[in-house]
Structure 1
Amino acid sequence: MTQEPGSPGGDRPRGGAVHHRGPIELRGAQIGSGTTDQRLLDSRGSSAWVHTDPWRVLRIQSEFVEGFGLLAELSAAVAVFGSARTSPDSPEYAAARELGAKLAQAGYAVITGGGPGIMEAANRGASEAGGTSVGLGIELPFEQRLNDWVDVGINFRYFFARKTMFVKYAQAFVIMPGGFGTLDEMFEALTLVQTRKVTRFPVILYGTDYWAGLVDWLRSAVLAGGKINELDLDLVHVTDDVDEVVARIVESMRQTKDGQ
């Protein structure tokens, strides 16, 4: 409906044509030619529209739909994070492979970012032990495919959609030595637990020598400066023992079930 000159709700006349495109209302020079159906069926013209923000919303939606659909029937799972640069002959790779196997033997699916290094090792251990090995990959400027030990995999365009899958379908996070991506995932998990956006679950850092400096800084600078409290530090457990990692996760799941 057009607004008549001088009518309540506006100081200037709004006469003239009005075009409705679904819930959108257009006037004046904003009115284009044709209809939505016509534009859908017309294959001519520029393809730039596939890079517009409204189209990106549909791509984002599709990533959530695909992710939820793929992982909805996943059993209890543990997310393992760590560096893609870890070499297969390193002790950290061996530890991640052992961890993947023992988690699978304990009945957990293992979810990683699907890449090489620590991710490959955890997926490999889970797959070799007969467990469910999941890889959630990400589109990067440089070529990176899902590693060969991923049995159930999906590639994402958007980090935030991928992160949602980790948080939604993992009952614990194990953080192996890694770089910026690993740190991002670790602090994301800690923030969600601290702010009670998710049900509390274990966040375990593997490698006391590697993480000692960070933990000391959290205590001496962040805690001392009043930016977190003592209970926040209790959200993090650091160990060098794969069996302890698995035992803490199993115990946490048992306590969660008993509390329901």
Structure 2
Amino acid sequence: MQTSPAHAAHHDDREIETLEEFDAVVPARGTLTGFRVQSVDLTDRTRELLATDTSGAVFLGCPMRENAAEKLRADGALVFPPVPHLPFDPYRGLLYSPDELFDGLEKGYEQTPDALAYAWFQRTRADGDIYASMLRSIHDDAVSDALDELLRGARVVGVMGGHAMARGTREYAGAARLGRELARAGFTLATGGGPGAMEAANLGAYAAPFEDTMLDEACELLAGTPSFTPSITDWARAAFEVRARRPRGGNSVGIPTWFYGHEPPNAFASHIAKYFANATREDGLLARSNAGVVFLPGAAGTVQEIFDNATPNYYESRGEPTPMVLVDRAHWTEKLPTWPLLQALARERSMESRIALVDRIEDAPAALKRLAV
């Protein structure tokens, strides 16, 4: 997966999502008619706005001077002004980065944009305010649009697993090696974006460009703060220390949710699509995993994800079934006997040849490759 410089080549050519794109389009096209300008600060582009035809354009959350806004409206453009006093931008054009969500971590996690957005969500989720619910919906739709643009043409493998998998354990290191191997094989790795198995897989993708010892060193450093409880601040700081020691790691995607906002996003996914609506997030994560999904040991959330993925495979509602690999035979046949039910569902259907159960994490890439044939 390419990083952000390739982003502009993938999205709708009528969309402008950065100031650099704006500065390229205006002189080249000589018009903004029909364009959608999304969350771009145009305060210092008044001259260009006053001199350019903007009929039929839409400006979503773009700061600008009032005389420019008046001219745009006179042209027939729609101008949706920025929403004040929000800890997030509902019109954002790009996915989040770890640095953005954890900005201000040195003052404590509670002061970061991620924590402030969760606090806003907690205050507004139950009050029935149509304005707040509208803002959440706009935000989540913008995130989905940015995610689709990023992943267009990519071979995406989802890695699902529980948040309880602790740093410093054999299981965590195995999940990290899985992420590294999948990234090195050319897949774009996508996880639920949270702690535990999700963080481990994103860490592995981050480590993919480096020598193998880098991942061992990172796991050793992270083991000092095995969980995000009791201190998210300490847990996140350890991750950023790994990143500071070895910057510019490999790319992957995390897709977390503020619905489970007590679980922070991990700092190793280079692109973070964070949602307010968990249902949108879960379905979107699985639907975009077009090259298959690996399910590591987990609890209720992972069981739900298995059958959320099995349903479209069963009905072939998204086309040909995608591979599903469950890891840890004892976990999925004895502790949480999900595998027998999955087998029964798949029997005599096309998805039967696309499911597998393996004993070890190390066996998952080969199983994924075998099922994809």
Length-normalised TM-score, structure 2: 0.49
Structure 1: gaps spanning 5 or more residues: 1-39, 256-260
Shift of 1:176: 0.3
Q: In 1, Cα distance between the equivalents of 2:338 and 2:287? A: 26
Contact 1:76 1:169 in 2 (8 A): no
**1:180 corresponds to:** 300
Q: In 1, Cα distance between the equivalents of 2:271 and 2:346? A: 39
What is the aligned counterpart of 2:129 among 52, 74, 79? 52
Contact 1:136 1:156 in 2 (8 A): yes
Output aligned runs, 1:88-99, within 5 Å. 88-99=167-178
Q: In 2, Cα distance between the equivalents of 1:155 and 1:92? A: 26
What is the aligned counterpart of 1:110 among 189, 211, 234? 189
Q: In 2, Cα distance between the equivalents of 1:134 and 1:207? A: 24
Contact 1:68 1:165 in 2 (8 A): no
Q: In 1, Cα distance between the equivalents of 2:191 and 2:166? A: 16
Q: Which amino acid aligns with 1:173?
A: V
Output aligned runs, 1:137-148, within 5 Å. 137-140=256-259, 143-148=262-267
Q: Does 1:231 align with 2:348?
A: yes
Q: Which amino acid aligns with 1:201?
A: T
Q: Which amino acid aligns with 2:311?
A: T
The 3-state SS of whatever aligns with 2:356 is strand
Q: Please, which moves more after superposition, 50-59 or 207-216?
A: 50-59
Shift of 1:66: 1.6
Q: Please, which moves more after superposition, 79-88 or 144-153?
A: 144-153
Q: Please tell me the root mean square deviation across aligned C-alpha atoms, in Å.
A: 2.9
Shift of 1:73: 2.9
Shift of 1:137: 1.1
What is the aligned counterpart of 2:332 among 194, 202, 211? 211
Q: Structure 1 pair 58/203, CA: closer, same or farther in 2 (3 Å)?
A: same
Shift of 1:89: 2.2
Higher strand share: 1
Q: In 2, Cα distance between the equivalents of 1:158 and 1:231? A: 35
**1:200 corresponds to:** 321
Deviation track 1:106-152 (CA, whole Å, cap 9, x = no partner) reads: 00111111111101100000111033221111114652221121211
Q: Please, which moves more after superposition, 229-238 or 162-171?
A: 229-238
**1:65 corresponds to:** 142
Q: Which amino acid aligns with 2:280?
A: A
Q: Structure 1 pair 218/79, CA: closer, same or farther in 2 (3 Å)?
A: same
Q: In 1, Cα distance between the equivalents of 2:259 and 2:165? A: 18
Q: Structure 1 pair 72/180, CA: closer, same or farther in 2 (3 Å)?
A: same
The 3-state SS of whatever aligns with 1:72 is helix
Q: Structure 1 pair 243/142, CA: closer, same or farther in 2 (3 Å)?
A: closer
Contact 2:259 2:277 in 1 (8 A): no
**1:249 corresponds to:** 368
**Poorly superposed stretches of 4+, deviation over 3 Å:** 50-55, 241-244, 250-253
Q: Which amino acid aligns with 1:52?
A: D
Length-normalised TM-score, structure 1: 0.68
Shift of 1:159: 1.2
- Give me the identity figure in percent: 25
Larger Rg computed on CA atoms = 1
Q: In 2, Cα distance between the equivalents of 1:123 and 1:205? A: 18
Structure 2: gaps spanning 5 or more residues: 1-80, 85-123, 210-249
Contact 1:64 1:161 in 2 (8 A): no
**1:21 corresponds to:** none
Q: Which amino acid aligns with 2:150?
A: E
Q: In 2, Cα distance between the equivalents of 1:141 and 1:245? A: 28
Q: Which amino acid aligns with 2:278?
A: F
Higher helix share: 2
Shift of 1:217: 4.8
Q: Does 1:136 align with 2:213?
A: no
Q: In 2, Cα distance between the equivalents of 1:249 and 1:134? A: 19
